[in-house]
Structure 1
Amino acid sequence: MSAALDRTLAALADPARRQVVELLRERPRPAGELARETGLSPPAMSRHLKALRQSGLVEDTHPAFDARVRVYALRPEPMVELMAWLEESERMWSQQLLAFKAHVEDQP
């Protein structure tokens, strides 16, 4: 497993960060809106957004009209790598279960 995938899984281990990812699936949002939607304080949201940025799951931009505002959006690359790993794991488990089933069915 790659270090990037480890960072993605670690970031997604927290329920608040998963909630942020769910909200960002709909559209990019400012940090303040994310804090209100999740019921977290701005400092707590800032910590979660920092973890999501460090994992590569989100990126932030500043709108031209106000450099103080950060708008967060999802980045697809970490999720693509996660999906590939999950698909490979699913294939391995399917093969293992089919082999086990064949073994059990061959027994008298």
Structure 2
Amino acid sequence: METRRDVFQAIADPTRRKIIDLVAGEKQNLNAIAGNFDMSRQAISLHIKILSECGLIVIRKQGRERYCEAKLKKLGEVSTWLEQYRKIYEAKLDSLETYLGKLQSKNTKYGKQKSNR
């Protein structure tokens, strides 16, 4: 039975996020990618396989080399999912800012009254 992977699983691992960073700017061969990590090429290949299964990386063969190319459109799923939480936290932060502003206003007012005595 084939394992179904999604983009959230792919970006859950810091090594895979670093691989995405490396190939986002330009395609790179597997050896160049593996050279950035202190782990076996086999371990890096497994990470790349997961990224490929999730649709975040495409592997193209050029001669003897296999190059990884970023396909970041699927990260839009993550962005959409995160957006709902960003709105919630922005509302909470706005509320906190308003509350702190009221406290500061009261303390400033109270501080002025105290200093007038």
Q: Is the 8 A contact 1:19 1:38 kept in 2?
A: no
Partner amino acid, structure 2, of 1:13 = A
Question: Normalised by the size of structure 1, how large is the TM-score?
Answer: 0.74
Unpaired runs of 5+ in structure 1?
none
In the aligned structure 2, how far is the partner of 1:26 from the partner of 1:99? 39
2:114 match: none
Q: What is the aligned counterpart of 1:73 among 69, 74, 96? A: 69
| Aligned-partner Cα distance in 1 for 2:43–2:72 | 24
Provide the secondary structure at the position in 2 that maps to 1:25: helix
Equivalent pairs counted in the alignment come to: 98
TM-score, normalised relative to structure 2: 0.69
Aligned residues: CA RMSD: 2.4
CA distance in 1, matches of 2:97, 2:31: 52
- Give CA-to-partner distance per residue, 1:11-31, whole Å, 9 cap, x none: 111121111111112211011
Distance 2:39 2:52 in 1: 18
Q: Which runs of 4+ in 1 moved over 3 A?
A: 96-105
Distance 2:89 2:21 in 1: 28
Q: Which has the larger radius of gyration?
A: 2
Q: Distance in 2 between matches of 1:95 and 1:15?
A: 29
- Supply the AA of the counterpart residue of 2:21: E
Which residue is 2:38 aligned to?
39
Gaps of 5+ in 2: 103-117
Give the one of 77, 86, 89 matched to 2:82: 86
Match of 1:60 in 2: 59
